[in-house]
Amino acid sequence: MPEQHSFEYDFVIIGSGFGGSVSALRLAEKGYRVLVVEKGKWHRAEDFPKTSWNVRKWFWLPALRFFGFFRLSFFRHVTVLSGAGVGGGSLVYANCLQTPKRDFFQSDSWVHLADWENELMPFYKNGAKMMGANPNPRLEIGDKALQTLAKKMGKEDQFEPTNVAVFFGEQEKTVPDPYFNGEGPERSGCVFCGGCMVGCRYNAKNSLDKNYLYLAQKNGATIKSQTEVFDVIPLNGSDGAGGYKIGWRSSTSVFRKKGELRAKNIIFAGGVLGTIPLLLRLKKRSLPDLSERVGYGVRTNSESLMGVVDYKKKHIFSDGIAIGSILHTDQFSHVEPVRYSAGSGFWRLIMSPMSHGNHLYSRLFSILWDAVIHPLQNLKMLFVDDWAKRTQILLFMQTVNSTLRFSMGLFGLKSTLDEGKKPTAFIPEANSLMREFAEIVDGKPGALLSETILGRPTTAHILGGAVMGRDHTEGVIDRDNRVFGYKNMWICDGSMISANPGVNPSMTIIALTERAVSKITAKR
């Protein structure tokens, strides 16, 4: 077995999103030598695009030399929106830090493993403090319209401002760190421009590089960006007790520089689209004892994304924060108004009138018929002056327990149906809510072409694929995030989520990771 000094690091963490960032800080605080490996780039406020039309700065497409922080991935059953860069999904997410309802903690898929609600609540509270969570102080036109809808439904008490990771200080005024007794970076007050998901250019968004990662570095952690891990090999034995040799390569350079390092422990934290394909490849090579359940139990949070376009140009929907309110329509369902900053009209390219139906031909007929009977509306919708300014997106989520399986195909990761009904873009309740919302704001409902044409839902919250279980026949990791079949190995990212939260999952990833790392003893 190698001596301790033969390892460059005690822990190598693959990925710098919510799970990786939490792990980095807590392990550095415990005295460990920590390296965080991140495929994406560092992004400063001035690096973010002014609008989504600047696709070179917004999209992560290395093959085209686009090194932004937003990824769009297409699978047979779902289209996935995700993040890339130091800070992971926190760079592109809508700041929401919601705690799931009780049904999530009592889901049959994992309730037998722990009393999750009681065990996790202290970690939810601590995570919210670390992220600077506070209620949105301003309701905008879209939020007020949702509140009106809540009244019509008799559910006004189920409407509330979102808890968000935003610094609401004096607008554009820079102040010393307001969160960590001066140990954190300077911050500036939110300007309510709606640009949270295009990258905050005003230093108001509490992304992970301004809290967990920032403090991890102050505690000695190292962050290696623009680097991709492609190999993990156990040293001196097959179970990882002797540590791991980790192969890495550049993710942005043309010549793909490679290297390797050694670490006693490893944490996979690259998110579903990073961790799962890597584990599937490693299972065929250096980690054959990984559970056969790798790739199973993938969840989409049962989402539907729709938009209402104000083609009459009476309202401005782009003011505010990305998601300012939420309505709990029933025990299992939630809807949120989502916005982009004025000028960020990229999604205009793939929008169409709302359509529904079980077959492609019926949906195409519905779109064409709508164009025939409402030609002027559709023209105005298509050529509206500023898509983001005139469009209110609605995000509908449910705690429906159907799952997919991700596996490696000829052209990379592919999806197949695992359990339950396949994900669908046509959720009757979501469509009904959209039409009622459209009536309130006097707009026209629309949806993404990938949903209306292909019937394929879009999700920003892909989860699962390395879920928890009693043993390797039921899951990939145990209740404490330790990987079955190997020692000194953990998974701490969205792939560990073993039930549908039904709300934005960031806080749940933080809480589960805080819990898992709390069980690792301090370095002696």
C-alpha 124/C-alpha 304 separation (Å) is: 26
* Domain with 47 in it: 4-121+198-298+462-518
Is 19's pLDDT higher than 80? yes
At CB < 8 A and 24+ separation, what contacts does 105-111 make? 107/399, 107/401, 107/498, 107/499, 107/500, 108/401, 109/297, 109/401, 109/467, 109/498, 109/499, 110/467, 110/468, 110/498, 110/499
Does 302 score more than 70 pLDDT? yes
254 with 290, same domain? Answer: yes
**How many whole angstroms separate alpha carbon 453 and alpha carbon 356?**
9
Which residue stretches of 59-115 are H helix?
Answer: 102-105
Distance CA 153, CA 121 (A): 31
**Which of 459, 480, 499 delimits the end of a domain?**
459
- Residue 447: band (very low, low, confident or very high) from pLDDT cuts 50, 70, 90: confident
Does 420 lie in the same domain as 272? no
- Tell me: do 256 and 326 sit in the same domain: no
397: helix, strand or coil: strand
Q: Average pLDDT, stretch 294-315?
A: 89
Q: Which H helix or E strand runs over 55?
A: helix 55-58
Note the pLDDT tens digit of each residue in 488-502: 999 999 999 999 998
**Residue percentage of the chain with pLDDT more than 90:** 76
**Whole-angstrom distance, CA of residue 87 vs CA of residue 15:** 9
Query: Has 334 been annotated as catalytic?
Result: no
The pLDDT of residue 41 is above 90: yes
Cβ burial, residue 411 (10 Å; 0-12/13-18/19+): exposed
pLDDT of residue 381: 83
pLDDT of residue 227: 97
Cα–Cα distance measured from residue 15 to residue 112, given in angstroms and rounded to the nearest whole number: 29
If asked whether residues 340 and 274 sit together in one domain, one would say no
Which pLDDT band, with edges at 50, 70 and 90, does 304 fall under?
Answer: confident
Of 416, 437, 459, the one marking the end of a domain is: 459
Please write the tens of the pLDDT for every residue from 339-392.
999 999 998 888 877 776 667 777 778 778 888 888 888 888 888 999 999 999
Task: Quote the Cα angle for 208-211-214, to 5°.
Answer: 90
Residues 425 and 286 placed together within one structural domain of the fold: no
Please state the rounded mean pLDDT for residues 106-110: 93
Q: What spatial distance separates the first Cα and last Cα of the chain, rounded to whole Å?
A: 19
Pair 43, 108 in one domain: yes
Residue 345 lies in a domain: yes
Q: Is the pLDDT of residue 252 over 60?
A: yes
What band does 3 get if pLDDT is binned at 50, 70 and 90? very low
Domain count, the chain: 2
CA distance 271 to 497: 11
Cα-flanking dihedrals φ and ψ of residue 163, to 5°? Answer: -90, 120
Q: Which of 214, 124, 127, 200 is nearest to 167 (CA)?
A: 200
Predicted pLDDT of residue 338? 96
Does the residue 252 lie in any domain? yes
- For residue 474, pLDDT over 60 is answered with yes
In a domain, 409, yes or no: yes
**Is 231 in the same domain as 341?**
no
Output the six-digit token pair for 445: 């409902």
CA distance 150 to 158: 7
Same-domain status, 328 and 445: yes
**282 and 370 co-located in one domain:** no
Q: Are 475 and 465 in contact (CB under 8 A)?
A: no
**Per the structure block, which two tokens stand in for 320?**
């505010």
How many Å apart are CA 222 and CA 12, to the nearest integer?
Answer: 10
- The answer to whether residue 392 sits within a structural domain is yes
User: 95, 96, 92, 94: which is closest to 43 by C-alpha?
Assistant: 92
In order of 79, 156, 158, the CA distances from 329 in angstroms are: 25, 10, 7
pLDDT at position 70 over 50 = yes
Residue that finishes a domain, picked among 459, 476, 499:
459
Residues 491, 492, 498: CA angle, nearest 5 degrees: 85
Q: Tokens for 348?
A: 């205009």
What does the pLDDT average to over 262-279? 97
User: Are the C-beta atoms of 70 and 92 separated by less than 8 Å?
Assistant: yes
**Same domain, residue pair 442 and 494:** no
Band of pLDDT at residue 318, cut at 50, 70 and 90: very high
In a domain, 353, yes or no: yes
Q: What is the CATH number of the domain that holds 21?
A: 3.50.50.60
Burial call 465-479: b when 16+ CB within 10 Å, e when fewer: bbbbbeebebbbbbb
Residues paired with residue 250 on neighbouring β-strands, in sequence order: 227
Q: What is the DSSP string of 437-456?
A: HHHHHT-EEEEEHHHHTT--
Among 25-39, 89-103, 439-453, the range with the most confident prediction by mean pLDDT is 25-39
Q: How many whole angstroms separate alpha carbon 161 and alpha carbon 142? A: 12
8 Å CB contact between 516 and 523: no
Confidence band, pLDDT 50/70/90 cuts, at residue 1: very low
Asked whether the predicted pLDDT for residue 87 surpasses 70, the reply is yes
Q: From 9, 54, 65, 60, select the one nearest 39 (Cα to Cα).
A: 60
Domain contains 128: no
Does some domain include residue 35? yes
Measuring CA to CA, how many Å separate 427 from each of 310, 396, 441, 484? Answer: 23, 9, 21, 37
Burial label for 412, CB within 10 Å (0-12, 13-18, 19+), is exposed
The H or E element spanning position 372 is helix 360-373
pLDDT of residue 358: 67
Same domain, 331 and 416: yes
CB-count exposure of residue 42 (10 Å: 0-12, 13-18, 19+): middle
The answer to which of 87-91, 150-154, 389-393, 422-426 has the lowest mean pLDDT is: 422-426
pLDDT tens, position by position, 189-239? 999 999 999 999 999 999 999 999 999 999 999 999 999 999 999 998 889
Instruction: State the Rg of the chain over Cα.
Output: 22
pTM: 0.94
Residues in the chain: 524
Using the predicted structure, report yes or no on whether residue 250 has a pLDDT greater than 90: yes
DSSP bridge pairs for 468:
477
Dist. CA 293–CA 125, nearest whole Å: 32
Same domain as 244, residue 109 = yes
Establish if 191 belongs to a structural domain.
no
Task: Indicate if the pLDDT at residue 4 is higher than 50.
Answer: no
Element (H, E) at 308: strand 304-309
Mean pLDDT for all residues in the chain: 92
Say if residues 94 and 196 touch (Cβ distance below 8 Å). yes
Catalytic annotation, pick one of 315, 374, 461, 472: 461
Question: What is the rounded CA–CA span in Å between residue 233 and residue 181?
Answer: 41
